[in-house]
Amino acid sequence: MAPKVSDSVEQLRAAGNQNFRNGQYGEASALYERALRLLQARGSADPEEESVLYSNRAACYLKDGNCTDCIKDCTSALALVPFSIKPLLRRASAYEALEKYALAYVDYKTVLQIDNSVASALEGINRITRALMDSLGPEWRLKLPPIPVVPVSAQKRWNSLPSENHKETAKTKSKEATATKSRVPSAGDVERAKALKEEGNDLVKKGNHKKAIEKYSESLLCSSLESATYSNRALCHLVLKQYKEAVKDCTEALKLDGKNVKAFYRRAQAYKALKDYKSSLADISSLLQIEPRNGPAQKLRQEVNQNMN
């Protein structure tokens, strides 16, 4: 006989979480439902807590294949706290399972407006794009529902959450590596990767670096074999002052092409911004061995040396 769970919202949610981790999705769902009833009976407004409970119960429904109820609970969660990443991702997965690809695309795209490095959203966009192209043809984008514009306040709220809420983001790089480097991309994957990279390049020319990162990331999920895609994404990270991400992308670019001058230069810029002057000078030196008369690199070396003095 299962032990009795004390009737407090916090304890019911904690017990539900434990059951979920144990794979007991029906039991977890029942505990979340009890917590919801108790919270609503109190009559006190706690939209954050209520939203989490709906989202958690939706995760149970999704695991059990009950996509319809998953969508309902995610929609309830989002009505309470709009633009929450977890219910958006869960609803997108449910829509995808029901082959409602256009609606799934909208939710995945909304997530990427909030955090453009969420691996599951990037992978979902890649899958859904292919499905939409197959079902709706080359003008599939014209047939999509409107994609909501995420307010800056929602992005700031996500960024201010504790790190444990960013598990999807934390897994991005490793998922990207396993999704692409563990297999040889097909000719179709390579073509799709090139097309997405060009879309990213166009966005850079328009000054939309955040959207460009999304395109380059989608491109790398199709094929991670092109050094320039990493160094192009690094440029966007530099502009957005995401210096550690720029260093990572340049490092990946140089693994693929040890003479990628732009990758050396951009990583040197990122190291300079991070005040790692020794590493910056090392990259500039490597660049000048390839192109001894590179003016921007010579100027950057002077700047770094001045900062060190």
Q: What is the mean pLDDT of residues 89-104?
A: 94
Q: Residue 227 above 80 pLDDT?
A: yes
Q: What is the mean pLDDT of residues 226-252?
A: 94
Q: Give the pLDDT band of residue 6 (cuts 50, 70, 90).
A: low
Q: Residue 90 above 50 pLDDT?
A: yes
Question: What pLDDT was estimated at residue 39?
Answer: 87
Set out the domains of the chain in order of their start, with CATH numbers.
Answer: 9-156 (1.25.40.10), 187-308 (1.25.40.10)
Q: Residue 180 above 60 pLDDT?
A: no
- Three-state SS string over the chain comes to CCCCCCCCHHHHHHHHHHHHHCCCHHHHHHHHHHHHHHHHHHCCCCHHHHHHHHHHHHHHHHHCCCHHHHHHHHHHHHHHCCCCHHHHHHHHHHHHHCCCHHHHHHHHHHHHHHCCCCHHHHHHHHHHHHHHHHHHCCCHHHHCCCCCCCCHHHHHHHHHCCHHHHHHHHCHHHHHHHHHCCCCCCHHHHHHHHHHHHHHHHHHHCCCHHHHHHHHHHHHHHCCCCHHHHHHHHHHHHHCCCHHHHHHHHHHHHHHCCCCHHHHHHHHHHHHHCCCHHHHHHHHHHHHHHCCCCHHHHHHHHHHHHHHC
Question: What pLDDT was estimated at residue 167?
Answer: 52
Return the higher-pLDDT residue of 186 and 172: 186
Q: What is the mean pLDDT of residues 82-107?
A: 94
